A = this chain, B = another copy of it.
Amino acid sequence: MNASSAQNSLPPNRYERAEYVKPDGRKLWLYSRTHIDVGDIPSPSPEAVAATPHLRWHPLRGEWVIYAAYRQNRPFLPPPNYNPLAPTRDPENPTELPQGAYDVAVFENRFPSLVPEPGPAPTIDGTLTADGVGACEVVVYSQDPNTNVGELDASHVELLVDVWADRTTRLAERGLAYVLPFENRGVEVGVTLHHPHGQIYAYDFLPPVQVRTLQMARAHRESHGEAWLETFVRTERAASTRVVTDAGEALSVVPPFARYAFETWIVPARAATRLSDLSQQERRAFAALISDTVRRFDALFEQPMPYLMTIHQAPTDGTDYPEWPLHIEFYPYLRAKGKLKYLAGTEQGAGVFANDALPEAKAAELRAVKLPGAS
Interface residues of A, Cβ cutoff 8 Å to B: 56-70, 113, 124-127, 178, 180, 182-184, 189-190, 199, 201, 203, 207-210, 212-213, 215-217, 220, 228, 231-232, 235-236, 238-239, 256-259, 308, 310, 312, 325, 329, 331, 340, 342-346, 348-358, 361
Q: Chain B: which residue is nearest A333 at the CB level?
A: B342
Report whether B56 and A201 are in contact in the complex, using a CB–CB cutoff of 8 Å. Answer: no
List the 8 closest A-B pairs by CB distance, nearest first: A182-B345, A310-B349, A207-B350, A126-B235, A208-B351, A190-B342, A209-B351, A127-B256
- B contact residues around A180 at 8 Å (CB): 345-346, 349-350
20 A-B contacts (beta carbon < 8 Å): A58-B259, A59-B257, A61-B213, A63-B352, A65-B258, A66-B346, A66-B352, A66-B354, A66-B355, A67-B357, A67-B358, A70-B356, A126-B239, A127-B256, A127-B257, A183-B345, A184-B345, A190-B344, A199-B345, A308-B348
Number of copies of this protein chain within its complex: 2
- B contact residues around A238 at 8 Å (CB): 125
CB distance from A240 to the nearest CB of B (A): 11
Report whether A62 and B355 are in contact in the complex, using a CB–CB cutoff of 8 Å. Answer: no
Report whether B215 and A256 are in contact in the complex, using a CB–CB cutoff of 8 Å. Answer: no
Q: Chain B: which residue is nearest A353 at the CB level?
A: B65
CB distance from A258 to the nearest CB of B (A): 7
| Most chain B beta-carbon neighbours within 10 Å: one of A235, A239, A349, A355 | A349
Q: Which of B66, B216, B344 contacts A61 (CB 8 A)?
A: B216
Docked Cα-Cα span, A209 to B258, in Å, equals 19
- B contact residues around A228 at 8 Å (CB): 59-60
CB distance from A106 to the nearest CB of B (A): 15
Docked Cα-Cα span, A351 to B205, in Å, equals 12
Q: Chain B: which residue is nearest A355 at the CB level?
A: B67
Docked Cα-Cα span, A42 to B162, in Å, equals 61
Q: Which of B201, B203, B257, B342 contacts A58 (CB 8 A)?
A: B257
Docked Cα-Cα span, A234 to B353, in Å, equals 35
- B contact residues around A340 at 8 Å (CB): 190
Docked Cα-Cα span, A203 to B349, in Å, equals 12
For the complex with contacts A69-B358, A113-B354, 8 further pairs of A-B residues with Cβ separation under 8 Å are A59-B228, A61-B209, A65-B259, A66-B355, A125-B235, A182-B344, A201-B352, A208-B350
